[in-house]
Chain A
Amino acid sequence: MTELHFTDVQRDCLQELVNVAMGQASDKLARYLGTFVHLQVPAIALVEAALLSQHFASRYQQQSATLVSLGFFGDQGLRGETIMLYQLTNVGVIAQLLGYSDDAVSEAEMLTDISSVLTTTFLSGLAEQLENSFSYAAPRILSSRDRDFADKLAYTAEQWQLALQVDIRYQLTDYSFNCDMILLIPGEAVLRLRQTLDNILADF
């Protein structure tokens, strides 16, 4: 297996592209949702997927969370999956955020709707930065609030082995609403991503 690692230059380049995509997403989301959306500077790491669940279990210790997954595909074999993590005592916040009031909207639907908006807005910006474009699968709820999400994540992670993990926290100030996004790019696609980064770097 080819050694999967990023040089400092490659990592900086990716970090920069992610930052730009985040800035754009933050701006678009703020206008659409009518509230300030703060995206924290992401942590980028190449991780063993098996350790992922531990990482998040320690962060969400003894609390239940909802996971929503959304897969994407681009050209040149670039593909991945985002997982949104929510810890909500009250999904009413999302209903307000999305402007759902007079409709019967289920909790599951609110979660998939907000996930789709938050992730695809960021990802389409990232695709643009990578001179690519993504197509998306419909978001799916991986676990509901009462299930142990670490188990679920461990199960999901089995399919990834080694993955590029980009960890982004969304904070919506007006609604005191937080969620985390993990962007996972599986081993094979990381090689393609690295190639893309090299091409971009060569252009400078």
Chain B
Amino acid sequence: MQLDWLLQPLLTQLNTGVLVLDAQYRVVFFNQFIARRADVDLAKVQGNLLEDVFADLPLAWLRRKLDSVLHLQVPAFSSWEQRQYIIKLAHLRPLSSDSQYMAQNCSMLPLTAPDGVSRYICLLIEDATDAYVYQQQLQQSVMQLEHANRTDGLTGVYNRRYWQQQLGYEIQRAERYQHPLSLLLFDLDKFKDLNDQYGHQGGDFVLIELSRLIGSLLRDTDLFGRYGGEEFGIILPDTGMTGALQVANRICDTVAQHKMLYNQQTLKATISIGVVSYFEQSVDELIQRADTALYCAKRQGRNRAVAYQPELEGYLKKVK
């Protein structure tokens, strides 16, 4: 059976771009797939240099690839994952993709004419836009999951697991670069009374409102997390005790002066803060010391920041 007639209709119908270049990288042939998507007419551009037919090619890279095909007589490849597209071609998902151009997988194959001498290169271009779109969606989902995984659902600050993990990293960093590092641990004063008076929704409202307020007082590099219940922690990288106490006092004052409107009622709250600076302690020791300072702040009348000192341990024993 004579099958030669198949070739032309197949090339026309093929859902893959076929582009043939000669050894000078002049356009010899392309099929309908490319003609329609690039809106070019083969008859008008045949014999022209590749870069004169298709605009904005990554020319230096592409020439090097084509050189390898020609000189080594081996195929070369390009994947959309590394290079989204080579030739600017329209794709069939203009509405559902954020990419203007078709994502492409391209194989570049060496061809030799029947004369056994003339070399050509065939570029096969496959539309990978669907894969590209799915991967974008996947990446987005992964980012959302990562965000959810480190965030406290109620207040939007870091959750305890992530925060404590970061504390470990910050300690390593402080150790390595000999930078100061401080930690604030604070607790809402008489939170139980708030809950009793305004209900748990009122308590939640205060937690959300104060998290937002305190967050606005911090630097981008500070790490603010919910330690549990109404207890929160703030990691202050590159900050010594003096700086940390200033921050703590500012937070205390700002919170105490802040009026919150809940169900037509004006609400006020105060917090107590324990402050500790890193000096070769472990994560647990550091938190333990901040907790001791926090406890002393409570004992000394609340609405204040107290810096950790070893003497506090004795104070703690006495009151216990």
Contacts and interface: CB of A to CB of B under 8 A. Distances in A.
Contact of B64 (A28, A100, A108): A100
A113 to B, nearest CB: 7
B81 interface: yes
Contact of A28 (B71, B79, B107): B71
A113 B72 contact: no
Contact of A112 (B60, B75, B82): B82
A145 B78 CA distance: 21
Contact of A120 (B64, B72, B78, B105): B72
B274 to A, nearest CB: 37
A124 interface: yes
Interface in B244-278: none
Query: Which 6 pairs of residues, A with B, have the shortest CB-CB distance?
Result: A120-B74, A138-B77, A109-B82, A103-B61, A103-B60, A108-B82
A117 interface: yes
Contacts of B67: 32
B79 A138 contact: yes
Contact of B75 (A29, A99, A120): A120
Nearest to B74: A120
Interface of B: 58, 60-61, 64-65, 67-68, 71-79, 81-83, 105, 107
A113 B65 contact: yes
8 contacts: A32-B68, A32-B71, A101-B60, A103-B60, A106-B82, A117-B76, A120-B74, A124-B73
B77 A100 contact: no
A186 interface: no
Contacts of A124: 73-74
B55 to A, nearest CB: 16
A146 interface: no
Given A32-B72, A103-B60, 16 more contacts: A28-B72, A31-B71, A32-B67, A32-B68, A99-B60, A108-B82, A109-B83, A112-B79, A113-B76, A116-B74, A120-B74, A121-B74, A136-B75, A136-B77, A138-B78, A139-B77
Nearest to B70: A32
Chain A contact residues, majority secondary structure: helix
A33 B212 CA distance: 59
Nearest to A135: B75
A139 B65 CA distance: 14
A99 B75 CA distance: 18
Contacts of A28: 71-72
Interface of A: 28-29, 31-32, 98-103, 105-106, 108-109, 112-113, 116-117, 120-121, 123-124, 135-136, 138-140
B60 A138 contact: no
B79 A100 contact: no
Contacts of B107: 138
B135 to A, nearest CB: 14
B24 to A, nearest CB: 18
A98 B64 contact: yes
Contact of B105 (A116, A136, A138): A138
B74 A100 contact: no
Contacts of A100: 60-61, 64
A109 B81 CA distance: 9
B77 A117 contact: no
Nearest to A107: B82
Nearest to A104: B58
Contacts of A116: 74-77
Contacts of B76: 113, 116-117
Contacts of A117: 68, 72, 74, 76
Contacts of B71: 28, 31-32
Contacts of B81: 108
Contacts of A138: 77-79, 105, 107
Given A28-B72, A108-B81, A138-B77, A103 B58 contact: yes
A29 B78 CA distance: 20
